[in-house]
């Protein structure tokens, strides 16, 4: 245990106690304060905030793409890497009143593998059941951290399902050959094996105070949290019009097509638009082709009134944010999770 200090967040006026051994983001999460965050690893910049008062802060390693030196000099910090060594006042630049007070308690637990099946040539559908504690609550779209067996490392994966009484959690996980966790999942993880987890994390949740039409944009395993949002809308009979643009490279990279067809029957306002960026001549494909962001731009004239939810590899998410802002959508209506990786971030401080 380190020294304890008080950190107050403005303009929301919430104060928490922070141990210098933990990051400010972690302390807030443990005290049920859901601050904006994505990767928790100093890479995505979602938690970037301004230090209004106090300067004795130390940062764990982070990417200088997320916090360039000049921004740090101006007083900006990354709450997921920041340790407080005195009382601080922090201005939240990016926060959501609907979310901030609705934080669910963080829980560590053990899960048992129920299924680990290929859904494409390089993606798995991992299904686990909670062994302990009795329950880990989450909002559809949030993610869970898995400890990598035999390593002091964890990896984040978004739940593809909605909360349920059986304690089942489903994931769609892309396999990277040699990937610390996904390689283990591909070669060594069997039904009945147990894994240590912690959840819930993430701010990728449907903002329900809005009634705006929805545009979902996903690529690769970014399908998982978007599927969770669609399943949740179907379960609750939410009838907001939603267009789901999903980018894959080839026909064999598409998955969950049957379920998406069923969801279209359950959600009359749902239009599913899959697109292939590298269609090959010998595959039958009459759908859209090209980069998913180009497909959205081709099909939509103005997006200035929609709520957009974007999820997938960081370059796709960044291209989607740029395209959405070009088509008139302000950033406060664009919600996203970048699937940043943990390996060796470029530009690490």
Ligand X SMILES: Cc1cc2nc3c(=O)[nH]c(=O)nc-3n(C[C@H](O)[C@H](O)[C@H](O)COP(=O)(O)OP(=O)(O)OC[C@H]3O[C@@H](n4cnc5c(N)ncnc54)[C@H](O)[C@@H]3O)c2cc1C
Q: Which residues bind ligand X (CB under 6 A)?
A: 38-39, 143, 155-158, 171-174, 176, 178-183, 202, 221, 224, 313, 337, 339-343
Q: Which residue has the tokens 């103005």?
A: 302
Site string for ligand FES, 47-86 (x = CB under 6 A): x------------------x-----------x-x------
Using CB distances below 5 to 8 A depending on partner kind, what does residue 80 bind out of ligand X, ligand FES, none?
A: ligand FES
Using CB distances below 5 to 8 A depending on partner kind, what does residue 339 bind out of ligand X, ligand FES, none?
A: ligand X
Cβ nearer to ligand FES, comparing 77 with 243:
77
The reply to whether 33 sits near ligand FES by the rule CB under 6 A is no
What is the C-alpha separation between 23 and 39, in angstroms, rounded? 13
Cβ distance 242 to 216 under 8 Å? yes
Cβ nearer to ligand X, comparing 155 with 333:
155
Taking CB under 6 A as the binding criterion, the range among 43-51, 94-102, 187-195, 212-220 that sits at the site for ligand FES is: 43-51
- Selected binder of ligand FES within 26, 40, 107, 329 (CB under 6 A): 40
What is the C-alpha separation between 171 and 7, in angstroms, rounded? 35
Residue 112: how many CA atoms within 13 Å on its side-chain side?
9
How many H-runs (helices) and E-runs (strands) does the chain carry?
A: 8, 19
Taking CB under 6 A as the binding criterion, the range among 44-52, 185-193, 288-296, 321-329 that sits at the site for ligand FES is: 44-52
Cβ nearer to ligand FES, comparing 25 with 242:
25
Cβ nearer to ligand X, comparing 37 with 329:
37
Using CB distances below 5 to 8 A depending on partner kind, what does residue 169 bind out of ligand FES, ligand X, none?
A: none
- Selected binder of ligand FES within 5, 20, 43, 223 (CB under 6 A): 43
Using CB distances below 5 to 8 A depending on partner kind, what does residue 23 bind out of ligand FES, ligand X, none?
A: none
309: enclosing H helix or E strand: strand 307-312
Nearest to 253 by CA among 206, 319, 313, 185: 313
- What's the Cα-to-Cα distance from 82 to each of 20, 67, 195, 337, rounded to whole Å? 9, 12, 28, 21
DSSP-based three-state secondary structure for 169: strand
Strand order in the sheet with 154-158: 154-158, 143-147, 194-201, 107-118, 123-132, 168-174
Taking CB under 6 A as the binding criterion, the range among 34-42, 101-109, 263-271, 297-305 that sits at the site for ligand FES is: 34-42
What minimum distance in Å lies between the beta carbon of 348 and ligand FES? 12
Cβ nearer to ligand X, comparing 24 with 173:
173
Characterize 10-36 residue by residue with b for buried, 16 or more Cβ atoms within 10 angstroms of its Cβ, and e for exposed.
eeeebebebbbebbbbbbbbbeebbbb
DSSP-based three-state secondary structure for 186: helix
Binding site for ligand FES (CB under 6 A): 37-40, 42-47, 66, 78, 80
């Amino acid at each position: 245990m380190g020294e304890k200090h008080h950190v107050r967040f403005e303009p929301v006026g919430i104060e928490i106690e922070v141990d210098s051994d933990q990051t400010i983001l972690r302390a807030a999460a443990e005290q049920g304060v859901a601050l904006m965050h994505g990767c928790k690893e100093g890479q995505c910049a979602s938690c970037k905030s301004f230090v209004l008062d106090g300067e004795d802060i130390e940062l764990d390693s982070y990417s200088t793409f997320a916090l360039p030196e000049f921004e740090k000099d101006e007083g900006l910090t990354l709450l997921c890497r920041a340790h407080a060594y005195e009382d601080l006042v922090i201005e939240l630049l990016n926060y959501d009143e609907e979310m901030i007070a609705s934080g669910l308690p963080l829980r560590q637990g053990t899960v048992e593998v129920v299924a680990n099946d290929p859904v494409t040539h390089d993606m798995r559908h991992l299904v686990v059941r909670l062994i302990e504690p009795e329950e880990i609550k989450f909002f559809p779209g949030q993610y869970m951290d898995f400890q990598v067996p035999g390593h002091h490392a964890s990896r984040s994966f978004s739940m593809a399902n909605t909360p349920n009484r059986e304690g089942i959690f489903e994931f769609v996980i892309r396999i990277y050959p040699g990937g610390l966790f996904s390689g283990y999942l591909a070669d060594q993880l069997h039904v009945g094996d147990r894994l240590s987890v912690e959840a819930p994390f993430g701010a990728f949740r449907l903002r329900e105070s809005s009634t705006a039409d929805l545009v979902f944009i996903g690529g690769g395993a970014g399908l998982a949290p978007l599927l969770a949002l669609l399943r949740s809308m179907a379960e609750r009979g939410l009838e907001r019009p939603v267009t789901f643009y999903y980018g894959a490279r080839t026909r064999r990279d598409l998955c969950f097509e049957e379920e998406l067809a069923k969801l279209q029957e359950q959600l009359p306002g749902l239009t599913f638009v899959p697109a292939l960026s590298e269609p090959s001549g010998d595959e039958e494909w009459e759908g859209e082709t090209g980069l998913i962001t180009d497909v959205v731009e081709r099909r939509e004239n103005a997006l200035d009134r929609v709520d957009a939810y974007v999820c997938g590899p960081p370059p796709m998410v960044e291209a989607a944010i740029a395209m959405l802002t070009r088509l008139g959508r302000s950033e406060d209506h664009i919600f996203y999770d970048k699937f940043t990786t943990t390996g060796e971030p470029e530009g690490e401080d």
